[in-house]
Amino acid sequence: MSNKRINAIKTKFADERSGNIILLSHCLLNENTRYFGGAFQRNFSKEILEQIHTKGYGIIQLPCPEQKAWGGLQKPYLWLGIDNKKTIIYPFRHLIYRFFILHTKRIYSKIANKTVKEIRDQMKAGYTVKGIIGIGGSPTCGVQTSLDISRINEFANLKLNQLDRKSWNDLIYTKFLQNKAGLFMKILQKKLRRRKTDLVFYEFDLQKEMNNEKQILL
């Protein structure tokens, strides 16, 4: 069907849609997918949704890349690297880590390809994609900051029986935070650049949510 005919149909059946879209990291709409200890709402980020509603944007929820790559919702592959000094995998941790990263990047690349395709389809339909909101501190969906999971020796030496929710979060956001994009966001940004698709990336600050601090992104 020609674009001219499609545009005529759109005009004939014009409705209330804004034609503006924003993409959200999965856990902003479903905090059940967060790492254990990282959910600070019972369900979703009401603060972000209120801002999006005020702007009149439609929402595309990104899949959770960690759920897809790290063994499901509980992400058991990630936890294998923590407190494993006395296990049989400890001597092979560097080799396992390399395979883990290769596997992760392969899965993330597939998800990024689908995401780029979705974005291009939205644009082809004449909609404006207003940006992508990532999660600060996430090793996967961080935009400016992420968890440095390359420090495998330090993770291996942690003692889970000596940690609680507060000390775990304090450790993540002090000792292991780095000023780099997470693995998935880095791959997605690269693929978008290849397609000459320039989008704004926002970072939702998980620490501010943790401390019940207000944040305005849009």
As a whole number of angstroms, the distance between CA 99 and CA 111 comes to: 19
Which burial class, exposed, middle or buried, applies to 66 when counting CB atoms under 10 A from its CB (0-12, 13-18, 19+)? buried
The pair of structure tokens assigned to 203 is 């970072």
Return per-residue pLDDT of the chain as tens, 218 residues. Answer: 788 898 899 899 999 999 999 999 999 999 999 999 999 999 999 999 999 999 999 999 999 999 999 999 999 999 999 999 999 999 999 999 999 999 999 999 999 999 999 999 999 999 999 999 999 999 999 999 999 999 999 999 999 999 999 999 999 999 999 999 999 999 999 999 999 999 999 999 999 999 999 999 99
pLDDT at 193: 97
| 104: nearest Cα among 136, 67, 74, 133 | 67
Q: Side by side, which strands form the sheet with 201-205?
A: 58-61, 20-24, 128-136, 201-205
Query: Global pTM?
Result: 0.95
